[in-house]
Amino acid sequence: MIRLEQVAKVYSLGRVDVRAVDGVTLAIGQGEFVALVGPSGCGKTTLLNLMAGIDRPTSGEVWLDGECLDRLSDDRLTRLRRIRVGIIYQFFNLLPTLTAWENVALPLLLDGLQGSEIEGRVWRQLERVGLTHRAHHWPHELSGGEQQRVAIARAIVAEPRVVLADEPTGNLDSVAGGSVLELLQALNREHRQTIILATHSEEAAGRAGRIVSLRDGKIERIEKA
């Protein structure tokens, strides 16, 4: 499903080069729930960005569903993100000028789907995250947990095969965080969606099937939960 081969990402910060990801090789199968753990700056977010196709590796190859991402044009990569990958961020990243409903509908609208088709899918996802009653609220009218659930609905509305979550509970209290993790687990269980979760939290990592520990951009160890 996802394969990384000797992937490195080097950022140039003025006169210093920083190797955010350093020779990572990893394969993740369809329907797996993988947690990426490690201290701040170990390369979790960079690795997620590379897998999502929103960043390109300095060297090595990233494969998704048999396609090498580095060889895709920007438009193909964009389409891939729209349909096959869903992304969830720590800071929710909802567009403040769109309502919850509109935020969820966005990937489908960008893909040019018709109204009736969108309607059904958006309501279905909002129902799944338990927010149909908040559909027409603005992001600033929602709690943090609710905002993150809207972000999850948006990430899965196009029914992607992979959901990448970057510290999705980092900005939430334990109750809201717990419900977000349950949602992710349910997605994985019921729809066999591949979930890759970058987290600091041991509790969150404990819900994954495999835990990949990173340090200084390299894989330190991989263990089954």
Partner 1 sequence: MRTWTVLRLIIVRNLRASPVRTLVTVAGVAIGVAAFTAIQAANESVLRSFQRALDVVAGRTTLQISAGELGIDERLLPAVQQVDGVIAAAPIIQAVAPVAGRPGKALVLLGVDLFAEDPFREYRMADGDRPPRIEDLLSPDAIFVTAAFVKENGLQRGSRLTLLVGSKRRRFIIKGLLAPQGPARAFDGNLAVLDIATAQVALDKVGQLDRIDLVTREQVSLSQITASLARVLPPHLAIQRPDRRSQQVEKMLRAFRLNLTALSAIALLVGLFLVYNAVSLSVLQRRRQIGILRSLGLTRATVAALFAAEGAALGLVGSLLGIGGGLLLGRALLQSVSHTVSALYAYLRVEQIQVGPGLLLLALSLGTAGALIASLAPAYAASRIAPSEAVHLGFYERRWIRRSPLAVLLGTLLLVASFLFSRPGPVGGIPLFGYLSLACLIFGVACFTPQLLRWAGVGLHLLCGGRRAPLLQLGAGNLSSQVGRNAVAVAAMMTAIAMLVGLTLMIESFRRTVELWVEQTIRADLIVSPAARFVKGSGARLPEDFVEAATRIEGIAALDPFIGRRVDLLGQEALLAAGDFEVVARHGKLLFRAGDSPAILTRAKGEGGVIISESLALATGLKEGGRLPLDLPSGRVELPIAGVFYDYATDGGKAVMDRALWTRVWGKQGADVVAIYLAPGADEASVRQRLEALAGQDGAIVISSNRALKAKVLEIFDNTFVVARALELIAVLVAVLGIFNVLWASVLSRQREIGILRSVGATRAQVARVVLGEAGFLGLMVEALGLLAGIYLSLILIHVINKQSFGWTIQFQFSWWVLLKSSILALGAALLAGYLPARQAARLNIPAAVAFEG
Of 170, 219, 164, 213, the C-alpha closest to 54 is 164
Closest CB to partner 1 among 108 and 211? 108
The correct pick among 6, 59, 68, 91 for binding partner 1 (CB under 8 A) is 91
Which residue has 């369809």 as its token pair?
Answer: 30
Distance CA 10, CA 22 (A): 8
User: Does the protein bind partner 1 through residue 181 (CB under 8 A)?
Assistant: no
Binding segment (CB under 8 A) for partner 1, from list 57-65, 104-112, 171-179, 211-219: 104-112
Binding segment (CB under 8 A) for partner 1, from list 41-49, 191-199, 208-216, 217-225: 41-49
The correct pick among 37, 46, 177, 183 for binding partner 1 (CB under 8 A) is 46
Where in the chain does DSSP place strands (E)? 2-13, 16-28, 33-37, 59-64, 67-68, 85-88, 162-166, 194-199, 210-215, 218-224
The correct pick among 78, 132, 185, 213 for binding partner 1 (CB under 8 A) is 78
Contact (CB, 8 A) for 207 and 33:
yes
The correct pick among 21, 22, 49, 69 for binding partner 1 (CB under 8 A) is 49
CA 123 to mean position of chain CA atoms: 21
The residue ranges that bind partner 1 (CB under 8 A) are 45-46, 49, 52, 54-55, 74-75, 78-79, 81-83, 87, 89, 91, 93-99, 101-102, 105-107, 109-111, 115, 118, 154, 158
